[in-house]
Amino acid sequence: MQTEQASYAYDVSRTGHADGAVPAMAVRSVTLDVVAGGTTALVGPTGSGKSTLASLVLRLIDPDSGVVRLDGVDLREVARGGVPEVGSLVAQQTFLFDDTVRGNITLGVEATDEEVWHALRVAQADGFVAALPSGLGTRVGERGTSLSGGQRQRVALARAVLRNPQLLVLDDATSAVDPSVEQAILAGLRESGHGLDDTPRTTVLVVAYRMATITLADDVIYLENGRVVDHGTHEQLLARCTGYASLVTAYAREAAERAAVLADEDRLDAQGVDS
């Protein structure tokens, strides 16, 4: 996946997102080369353009200027709606239908149970699905309300994995999943690729908010204000990019604080103290 001088501004007059007529430049002249078959983390403060860049590489939007290519092909030459066959997006907000687990994963695509279970395994969802009263045949309820947020996210991830995408974009897709499970998902994605031996591995682009997730990536892209500030390994960026270093240090601090609060609650629970 490559972008060359790609820029995108939201039409604020249409969305009414901001006052005044100045278009919000969300992605500014971004030139990137994302290594095929690897895992690349997209890191940056809120509003830095991560989701916009994710939308560009999946052709949910077209750049105002510049080019986005997948396998050397300008995405604008791919029919709109053709990109879902090569690329899949899993976002934070997932949509499940009032259907079975199986139906929510296949969405009408032909698949054997074995293939569905493989996708569930990669998404770290096989355990809880196997424990449901009717396994794959269990209905998830309207909008999947019978599942937890983290379980819904993993079903949505299995849906994407089943499609064997060439490019898988995870935009905060595992925010409700335990950090250790998130790591297992990413490790599984890089090991098994997308499961079939004769096809190239899935390229994973993950918008990452946890230090542990970032360190699993082969490559990190650091964005600020719509621009790529630095691109390299986590260690390289940590050493040479102060904006990056302070952001990921803040993520690590937040994670440690959350873990301490949870441990405290566990301790109080163990003592039988009401919280």
Ligand X SMILES: Nc1ncnc2c1ncn2[C@@H]1O[C@H](COP(=O)(O)OP(=O)(O)OP(=O)(O)O)[C@@H](O)[C@H]1O
Please say which residue, 1 or 136, places its beta carbon nearer to ligand X.
Answer: 1
Element (H, E) at 17: none
Q: Is 221 exposed, middle or buried (0-12, 13-18, 19+ CB in 10 A)?
A: buried
| Interaction of residue 275 with ligand X, rule CB under 6 A | no
Please say which residue, 49 or 144, places its beta carbon nearer to ligand X.
Answer: 49
Residues in region 128-147 near ligand X by CB under 6 A: none
Please say which residue, 54 or 167, places its beta carbon nearer to Mg ion.
Answer: 54
| Interaction of residue 44 with ligand X, rule CB under 6 A | yes
**Residue in 3, 39, 48, 51 binding Mg ion, rule: CB under 5 A:** 51
Contacted by 184, from Mg ion, ligand X, none: CB < 5 to 8 Å by type: none
For 16-41, letters b (16+ CB in 10 Å) and e give eeeeeeeebbbbbbbebebeeeebbb
| C-alpha span between 237 and 199 (Å, rounded) | 32
| Interaction of residue 46 with ligand X, rule CB under 6 A | yes
Opening angle at CA 143, ends 138 and 149, nearest 5 = 85
| Interaction of residue 52 with Mg ion, rule CB under 5 A | no
Please say which residue, 128 or 251, places its beta carbon nearer to ligand X.
Answer: 251
| Interaction of residue 60 with ligand X, rule CB under 6 A | no
Contact 248, 208 (CB under 8 A): no
**Residue in 2, 12, 195, 230 binding ligand X, rule: CB under 6 A:** 12
Which two three-digit tokens encode residue 21?
């007529």
Contact 68, 178 (CB under 8 A): no
| Interaction of residue 15 with ligand X, rule CB under 6 A | yes
Contact 181, 160 (CB under 8 A): no
Residues forming the site for ligand X (CB under 6 A): 10, 12, 15, 17, 24, 26, 44, 46-52
Interface with Mg ion (CB under 5 A):
50-51
